[in-house]
Structure 1
Amino acid sequence: MNTDDLNFAYKVRHALNEQLDELPASTTDRLAAARKAAMARKKADAPVRVSERALATGGGAGFFAQPLSWLGRMGVAVPMLVLVAGMVGLYQYEEQERVAELAEVDAAVLSDELPLSAYMDHGFNAYLTKSEQ
């Protein structure tokens, strides 16, 4: 039964309860017969399963009301935290590698006997490229 059906049923019940004293006896008899017929056709309720843990905790709706619900939440949260920590670690590692590489290049340039202006010369860059091949 959806919410519209429930709302309609509540409105009809409220309207009938308000006007109950003014209804003729034949109408109340027909309504009583209709109610009995509806109750006879009503499906039997499914048996309710109650766990021992729910009985022990009084059936309260706390964090541990559903035994594995917190485990399910942690099953999602923990891998996400591991992923974020791994990505941060990888970023830090790559940044350290980049800094070490730049330091190595700076040390090679400073320890070389060539003047710094030689590295700015385009002909020198062409010479280095050609000599590497």
Structure 2
Amino acid sequence: MNTRELNFAYKVRHALNESAEKLPQSTAEKLASARKMALSRQKKTSGLRVFVPQRLFAGEAGRFVNAPLAWLGRMGVMVPVVALFALMASIYQVEQRHISDTAEMDVAVLADELPLSAYLDSGFNAFLASRDH
């Protein structure tokens, strides 16, 4: 908070304290009983204490480096990344093979001197369809 905000907060607190003194007695008693009831419902603090050997903050890299099974945490990230890379490489290989086969067929068809009626033949279309699969 900057100085201006603190001054405003002090002024508000002062105004509330002044107006609290002007409240009727019945209202002050109702507020006091409501406060007592709220305090009675407050959770009790436990007497147990826990010893924490070192402070750990979110995002602190030191907790994985010093742990006995630190490699397991790193593998949990690396395995999916390597699997994704292998999948993408295999998809690339399959697509390159398909492109190569299609290009080879196109070259064979274009280099051969077939009459136009051969392209209209249903057997030729069946041949092309079988080469795609």
TM-score where L is the length of structure 1: 0.47
Q: Which has the higher contact order (CA 8 A, sep 6+)?
A: 2
TM-score where L is the length of structure 2: 0.47
